[in-house]
Amino acid sequence: MDLPAGVRNFSYAKDMAIFRTKTHWAMLLLLFVVLFTLPLYLGNHWLNVANFVGITIIAVTGLNILTGYCGQLSIGHAGFIAVGAYTSAVLTNRFELPFLVGLICAGLLAGFVGMLFGIPSVRVKGFYLAISTIAAQIIIIWVINHWTNITGGFNGIAVPEPVIAGITFDTQGEFFYLIVAITILVIFFAKNLARTRPGRAFIAIRDNDLAAEVMGINLFRYKLLAFFIGCFLAGIAGSLMAHLMGFLSAENFHITDSILYIGMLIIGGMGTTVGPIFGVIFIKLLDKGISFLSPTLEGAFNLPAGFTTGIGPMVFGLVIILFLIIEPRGLAHRWQLFKASYRLWPFSY
Amino acid sequence: MDELLQFVITGITVGTVYALIALGFVLVWKSSGVANLALGQLVLISSWFAYGMLVQLGLPAWFGLIIVIVLSLMLGWIIERFVLRPLIAQPILSLITVTLGLAFFLEGLVSFTWPKSVAALPHILPDQVIHIGTAVVSMEYLLAAAISLILFVLLSLYFKYNKMGIAMRATADDQLAVQACGIPVTKIFSRSWMFACVLAAIGGILMSSIGGITYGLVHTGLKAFSVVILGGLDSFLGAMVAGPIIGLAENVGGGYLTPLTWPGVKDVIPFIIIIIVMFIKPYGLFGEERIERI
């Protein structure tokens, strides 16, 4: 269903290519043109939203590799993002290292912390693992809040603007190019990871870890690898987030954020490359819509004072529940259905 | 040594209340295999129910509390009927994440209905001070622990002798066999959720009549997870034994470690215990180690 009728391939490499027809390439080119000229049409506010969407896509792609492909539920993702954010902030602020070093170290440290808390996954799964990642989240945030001479504790920490090869990224527009470039790399990496040996091992572990082990997949190695990759991407996202915000405090990495990342993944569709993109854009736009509409509604209908703060979580919770009940495969599945029906149109028999 | 006794008594009594909340989790897990991560939010919302009844409506304590129990029974029924039942026989990942969505929703509902984030409940239990040896303990703590213990005994008797209780245990053991015997499994699921909500409500009221209603109640619910993990997911006795242990570790550890490390270490100890238990004995003290087949 992925291709229009009549497309033939004469080599394995062509058969495996991501972009296979001229239409694919034209669409890709169009997407790139639109993406890279976006700062010309969008104001600062929407560029900021787009930047956060990009960062969140990186984080949720990491979660997707861990949860969607490898089946290891993590409710501590915001904690791992915090590790990345603070690593980068501390390295660039207190030790005045260049941004790129901070970015890579953020990813590596977050990956190693993730691996550490992922070790129990070798013996336990499902709920047990969920709880140990919640514990990870709470312990990480506690350490950040109290290790005052390194992280600044409750006072927060200032983060300098990133500089790469003499170019300072200090406006939303410049940040946008940095974030788009990294996001594209990450999505490309995730798409290809799913087709490599580790990616297939992850899927085997998700579907039945016992059977996977019997088939000769080293569970310990691949589960920890999934934790490392997932949390590495979380660390990269955290580092970008730190530099974009310019100021960090642990309040940005609450456990509800961790739950929301899982929500985004479910809404988008677990175990697909496009899932995180759909999910993040859906939730971010919903968030924007709610925070735009709710004060107006509150004024218009004389609603109680808690309406503005309460409606957001209520809607998010409801959306997560409804998606799980009605469309557990998420928006990505709907997108597949749409593509299939549009290819067959108008002869859909 | 004066403070040690104090820490021990506070720890054991608070831990018993944790155990009560944890029982609600074990109940749902045993009968339906659903991991209820919205435990903290259930505790939070039922404490606010109590606030609504006792303070906002000004009902007398006994009547207000009965209404709170009825409300939480209804909440349990609604949750099971509209959230969990459509997901029967779905993978465990969906069952866990749906309770996360539920947690989000309940939290929104709380801040929607009760915008102020902190409130005090009137003291339901007598709060005069008792001297035990060198320790000074409020009567409230002891009574709260006693109530939790009584509920535990009642619940154990119910599961041992009541027909419905036996049916619930049977469902935990083998769902298909139970269905073949003509026991309505969905009814048992909804019963177990109703029980879980009531236990969360009682635990929440006990905690918040002592310490007031704050967002910290969600963390109380999270601490109940460490009780569950330490005791074993499917063991009532485990929860009842592990509760006081967690309470002890939290209070004694918090009391002696705070000068050595950072403030707030008390609230992290249960989670450190979770990680340690995961490494050493992942199925807990009394939990059944599941052997899987392909």
Mutate to test the interface with A, among B100, B113, B274 (most CBs of A within 10 A): B100
Task: Return the minimum-mean-pLDDT range out of A154-158, B106-110, B275-279, B290-294.
Answer: B290-294
Residue type, B10: T
What is the model's pTM?
0.89
pLDDT band at residue A228 using 50, 70 and 90 as cut-offs: very high
Q: Residue B294 and residue A211: Cβ atoms within 8 Å?
A: yes
Residue-number span of the structural domain to which A58 is assigned:
42-283
Determine the Cα–Cα distance for residues B26 and B8; give it in Å rounded to an integer. 25
Residue A348: predicted pLDDT: 64
How far CA A167 is from CA of A39, A94, A99, A163, B127, in Å, comes to 18, 21, 11, 5, 66
Determine the Cα–Cα distance for residues A231 and A238; give it in Å rounded to an integer. 10
Residue B173 backbone dihedrals phi, psi, to 5 degrees: -75, -50
Q: Is residue A191 part of a domain?
A: yes
Element (H, E) at B135: strand B135-138
pLDDT digits (tens, 9 = 90+) for B111-168: 888 877 777 777 777 777 777 777 777 777 888 888 888 988 888 888 888 888 888 8
Q: Residue A263 and residue B98: Cβ atoms within 8 Å?
A: no
Measured distance between the N- and C-terminal CA atoms of chain A, rounded to whole angstroms: 13
Q: Which of B105, B268, B271 sits opposite A318 (nearest CB)?
A: B105
Neighbours of A318 (CB within 10 A): 15
Determine the Cα–Cα distance for residues B191 and B106; give it in Å rounded to an integer. 20
For residue B118, give the nearest of B188, B172, B48, B204 by alpha carbon: B48
Residue A110: predicted pLDDT: 92
Please identify which residue in the block is written with the tokens 């557990």: A328
Mutate to test the interface with A, among B104, B109, B215, B269 (most CBs of A within 10 A): B104
pLDDT digits (tens, 9 = 90+) for A48-78: 888 899 999 999 999 999 988 988 888 889 9
Q: What residues contact A334, with CB distance under 8 A and at least 6 apart?
A: A327
Q: Which of B90, B105, B272 sits opposite A139 (nearest CB)?
A: B272
Residue A231: predicted pLDDT: 92
pLDDT band at residue A46 using 50, 70 and 90 as cut-offs: confident
Q: Are B278 and A152 in contact (CB under 8 A)?
A: no
E-strand ranges in chain A read: 157-158, 163-164, 167-168, 247-248
Q: Residue A123 and residue B225: Cβ atoms within 8 Å?
A: no
pLDDT band at residue B2 using 50, 70 and 90 as cut-offs: low
Q: What's the maximum distance between 2 C-alpha atoms anywhere in chain B?
A: 60
Check pLDDT > 80 for residue A218: yes
Q: Are B273 and B222 in contact (CB under 8 A)?
A: no
- How many domains does the structure of chain A reveal? 1
Measured distance between the N- and C-terminal CA atoms of chain B, rounded to whole angstroms: 55
Q: Which of A75, A139, A210 sits opposite B294 (nearest CB)?
A: A210
Smallest CA–CA distance, residue A124 to chain B, in Å, is 7
Chain A residue nearest residue B102, CA to CA: A317
Which of A34-38, A113-117, A305-309 is the most confident on average? A113-117
Task: Return the minimum-mean-pLDDT range out of A1-10, A139-148, A275-284.
Answer: A1-10
Q: Which of B98, B108, B114 sits opposite A312 (nearest CB)?
A: B108
Q: Are A259 and A103 in contact (CB under 8 A)?
A: no
Smallest CA–CA distance, residue A117 to chain B, in Å, is 8
Determine the Cα–Cα distance for residues A79 and A126; give it in Å rounded to an integer. 19
Per CB-CB distance under 8 Å, the chain B contacts of A313 are: 104-105, 107-108, 111
Q: Is residue A32 part of a domain?
A: no
Check pLDDT > 70 for residue A191: yes
Chain A residue nearest residue B100, CA to CA: A259
Q: Which of A71, A211, A310 sits opposite B93 (nearest CB)?
A: A71
Determine the Cα–Cα distance for residues A51 and A57; give it in Å rounded to an integer. 10
Q: Is residue A15 part of a domain?
A: no
Chain A residue nearest residue B83, CA to CA: A321
Q: Residue A314 and residue B272: Cβ atoms within 8 Å?
A: no
**Domain boundary assignment for chain B:** 2-215
Query: Three-state SS for A166?
Result: coil
Lookup: tokens for B271: 């989670």
Residue A2: predicted pLDDT: 66
For residue A269, give the nearest of A334, A204, A197 by alpha carbon: A334
Lookup: tokens for B213: 């209603």
Average pLDDT, chain B: 83
Lookup: tokens for B292: 């899987």
